[in-house]
Amino acid sequence: MTHLDRPHGADDAAVEWRAVSPANDDLPHGGTAPDAGAPGVRSPRAPTTAPIPATGAWRVGDAVGARRFADVGTFDLEGGGRLPGVRMAYETWGTLDPDGSNAVLVLHALTGDAHVSGPAGAGHPTAGWWQEMVGPGAPIDTDRWFVVAPNVLGGCQGTTGPASEAPDGAPWGSRFPRVTARDQVAVEIELTRALGITSWALVVGASMGGHRVLEWALLGPEAGVGVRSIAAIATNAQATGDQIAWAHPQLGAIHADSRFRGGDYYDADDGDGPHAGLGIARQIAHTTYRSARELDRRFGRIPQGGEDPFTDGRYAVQSYLDHHADKLCRRFDANSYVVLTLSMLTHDLGRDRGGVAAALAAITARTLVVAVDTDRLFLPADCARIADGVPGAALRTLRSDYGHDGFLVEDDQLGPIISDFLGERSSVPD
């Protein structure tokens, strides 16, 4: 979620409001530009008006940027079917120690990607989504740790997904199979082997990334890859009915868009892709990422500058959601949004493991769980369930007005928690 453009037409009230808005508002949910995109805020730059491409996916021939690639083979999927020729896109920071003991795996959320840290530029439309957390001298200090961040299977930033070429040379599109968090981790395990890493000092992720963190704690050791510690942030062990309910209209909006074309829209002209459906899905989701307290405090009933809600104008909060819809459509892919959302809905750590309690009890890695007190998507109780179930787990809570996105905004709180956890000696052997 990164603000690069600001709607213009500010009034004095909106400019005054800007002073109390958060520093990081649009992080790929998961770059970072200070409060750009704030509704009603004056800007020397005009809003983006260029037609939106049919997909915001990275595709072969686009600028590579900091991406690296690994071909990891063919996979039999949990739900049936086989996915051939899987390619993983990933980024790294730091240097792997000769004994391989300093490797950290960072797993991104739904609309994030492997660009955890680094500037925007060719190949990367946004700056890194966890800039304050990963880098030299940061809580995950790349002068000490070798950090790897893969783009998730089914995503749209270089790893095999719906926008990728199938064996016949055409985009997978509607033919792309359903994948689960376990499938995604199976692919990440093969990437780990390809990198010559035998053990992770830490596997960390939030939201959808936290689903994979928990799966890694079980699947990694089963596959012979050590997982010494995990940090599961603003996540849960099993998708809830409430989360499934919130996802349902998002998926419905995309499928109902006539320009979705059943998932086969990659040859459509700019401006003729499923942007209406994807944009509405983003607006619904983004509302769950923030708290009611923050939206009311930041926006309340302030009109968007120069617009009259009593005629055909918008309130500032509506402009804010429109902005987020536009931004996502320019950097993401509607099919990937569907595939990854479905992978979140099928998330159940206890499936075929005797239930959630039994699965959590089987985790042997040192475990840190972090909740956000105002999170209305992944409730603090969801995080507490993980901490209560994993032997010896520690639970920490971020105090934030910003809801679920507190894990992206509250680096002043989260940073010390992660650095302290990393600084503790692991008692779990490789």
> What tens digit of pLDDT does each residue of 214-251 get?
999 999 999 999 999 999 999 999 999 999 999 999 99
Residue 114 φ/ψ, nearest 5 degrees:
-75, -10
Average of per-residue pLDDT across 101-116: 98
Indicate the DSSP class of residue 71: E
How many domains are contained in the chain?
A: 1
pLDDT, position 49: 73
Q: Is this model's pTM higher than 0.75 or not?
A: yes
pLDDT tens sequence across 165-188: 999 999 999 999 999 999 999 999
Binding site residue list for substrate: 282, 405
pLDDT band, very low/low/confident/very high, at 424 (cuts 50, 70, 90) = low
Report whether pLDDT(289) > 90.
Answer: yes
pLDDT, position 48: 59
Average of per-residue pLDDT across 206-210: 98
pLDDT, position 159: 98
Report whether pLDDT(20) > 90.
Answer: no
**What percent of the chain is predicted at pLDDT more than 90?**
86
pLDDT tens sequence across 134-165: 999 999 999 999 999 999 999 999 999 999 99
Do residues 58 and 156 lie in contact, with contact meaning Cβ atoms separated by under 8 Å?
yes
pLDDT, position 199: 98
Nearest-CA neighbor of 268 among 55, 56, 61?
55
pLDDT, position 205: 98
pLDDT, position 68: 98
Domain carrying residue 262: 1-430
Report whether pLDDT(34) > 90.
Answer: no
Report whether pLDDT(45) > 50.
Answer: no
Report whether pLDDT(337) > 60.
Answer: yes
231 burial type by CB count under 10 A (0-12 exposed, 13-18 middle, 19+ buried) = buried
Give CA–CA dist 143/231, Å, rounded.
20
Average of per-residue pLDDT across 354-373: 98
Furthest C-alpha separation in the chain: 67
Sequence-distant (6+) residues with CB within 8 A of 374 are: 291, 293, 294, 400, 401, 402, 403, 406
**What percent of the chain is predicted at pLDDT more than 70?**
87
Q: Which residue has the tokens 């990437």?
A: 191
Report whether pLDDT(27) > 80.
Answer: no
pLDDT, position 308: 96
Binding site residue list: 282, 405
- Residue 170 zone, left/alpha/beta (φ > 0; ψ -120 to 50; rest): beta
Tokens representing residue 178 in the block: 């359903």
Report whether pLDDT(429) > 80.
Answer: no
Average of per-residue pLDDT across 249-264: 98
pLDDT, position 372: 98
Tell me which of 429 and 291 has the higher pLDDT: 291
Residue 414 φ/ψ, nearest 5 degrees:
-70, -35
Average of per-residue pLDDT across 40-60: 70
Strand pairing report for 68-76 and 82-93: antiparallel
Could you tell me the CATH number of the domain that includes residue 354?
3.40.50.1820
Average of per-residue pLDDT across 304-321: 96
pLDDT, position 14: 31
Strand pairing report for 82-93 and 146-150: antiparallel
Average of per-residue pLDDT across 6-12: 25
Report whether pLDDT(24) > 60.
Answer: no
Which residues are known to be catalytic?
207, 375, 404
pLDDT, position 29: 56
Mean model confidence pLDDT for the chain? 89
